[in-house]
Amino acid sequence: MTRVGLILLCGWFAASAGEAATWEEDFASDPAPRGWSLFGQANLFRWNGTNQNLEATWDSSLTNHYFYRRLDTVLTKNDDFRLAFDLQLGDIAVGVNPDKPSTFELAIGFLNFPDAVKTNFERGTGINAMDGPRNLVEFDYSPDSGFGATISPTLVSSNNQFAAGFDFPFELTPGDWFHIAMSYTASNRTLSTAMTRNGQPFGPVHDVKLGDSFTDFRLDAVAINSYSDAGADGSIFARGKVDNLVLTLPDPPILGLTGRLTNNTWQVQFAGRPGRLYTLERTQDFRLWSDVSTETPGEEGEHFLLDTNASGVEAFYRVRAERP
């Protein structure tokens, strides 16, 4: 008898067909069980259970450090998405390295985790074919080092193209709570940023629009980023608190996944999305996965993928969803 199973991968967002997926993190309890992780030294980011927020340190003298959460999806310039959070800064010092006397950014936003943890990922190099950053959409703040404190919503493509705004002088005054809401709209390829300080309007921050030559980005995590100043002419040390993150993302690429065996043919059914390519995969040992269906372009509505050559032994199935 053929024994089969269907792999259902559970994400951290909830959505039904036609609705955006929204998730909130208020740090009321330890965020680790909800999938938050640390890349780098443990002392840069600390959950404060008493104040119910995240204490963050941005120290550019160290290697890249991230407090991050994987998205269970991949965002591109063809998706609508939004990130909002509260930020309060305390100690701030720039030019802490005498050899790098200028300012340097602290950042919160989206990144591509495999790219961000590469040893040659140097945020401070800017446009650089070898070491420059890739796949970022983030809120950057550079404290004043003589030219005015600057807010820079920034997008970086998969091939190191930049689109950024530079609004100054806008100081994030220590002790004040700032609410930052960043919204990317795919139809006009524009990143908009709205801010308040202690509940009152702050700014305005100019929109950043992608040019026709901007290629694309791939984002798979949200993170608070302490970047190394390698390759930069500035440096920073800052402490602050982050709270009340809210993410709004597109529908997951697969909704309502079900499967059944009929006449020795395994069939899966699910609601898909345009702009994806779907393939049914099979395994017997969870190490080697094989394609058992043709690659099917996504569209609105129900999708059916079949394994017409079932092996007759125990097997498990999953659906791979990829960007073209």
Two tokens, residue 212: 């026709």
The torsion region of residue 62 among left (phi > 0), alpha (psi -120 to 50) and beta comes to beta
Q: Which residue, among 28, 86, 97, has the nearest Cα to 56 in the 3D structure?
A: 86
pLDDT at 82: 98
Phi/psi for 112 (5° steps) reads -100, 110
Two tokens, residue 293: 């269906």
Contact indicator for 237, 60 with CB cutoff of 8 Å: yes
- The pTM is what? 0.83
Helix (H) or strand (E) holding 320: strand 315-322
Contact indicator for 191, 78 with CB cutoff of 8 Å: no
Place of tokens 């995969």: 281
CA distance 33 to 31: 6
Sign of CA dihedral 86, 92, 95, 100: negative
Bond from prior residue into 114 cis (ω within 30 degrees of 0): no
Contact indicator for 53, 177 with CB cutoff of 8 Å: no
Q: Which residue, among 204, 222, 225, has the nearest Cα to 105 in the 3D structure?
A: 225
pLDDT at 6: 54
CA distance 161 to 21: 28
Helix (H, G, I), strand (E, B) or coil at 71: strand
For 234, counting Cβ atoms within 10 Å of its Cβ (0-12 exposed, 13-18 middle, 19+ buried), the class is buried
In tens digits, what is the pLDDT along the chain, a chain of 324 residues?
344 455 543 333 333 334 568 999 999 999 999 999 999 988 999 999 999 999 999 999 999 999 999 997 889 999 999 999 999 999 999 999 999 999 999 999 999 999 999 999 999 999 999 999 999 999 999 999 998 999 999 999 999 999 999 999 999 999 999 999 999 999 999 999 999 999 999 999 999 999 999 999 999 999 999 999 999 999 999 999 999 999 999 877 888 899 888 877 889 999 988 888 999 999 988 889 999 999 999 888 899 999 988 766 788 899 988 877
Two tokens, residue 241: 């608190």
Place of tokens 């930020």: 87
Domains and CATH numbers, the chain: 4-11+252-322 (2.60.40), 21-249 (2.60.120.200)
Place of tokens 């049914």: 280
For 158, counting Cβ atoms within 10 Å of its Cβ (0-12 exposed, 13-18 middle, 19+ buried), the class is middle
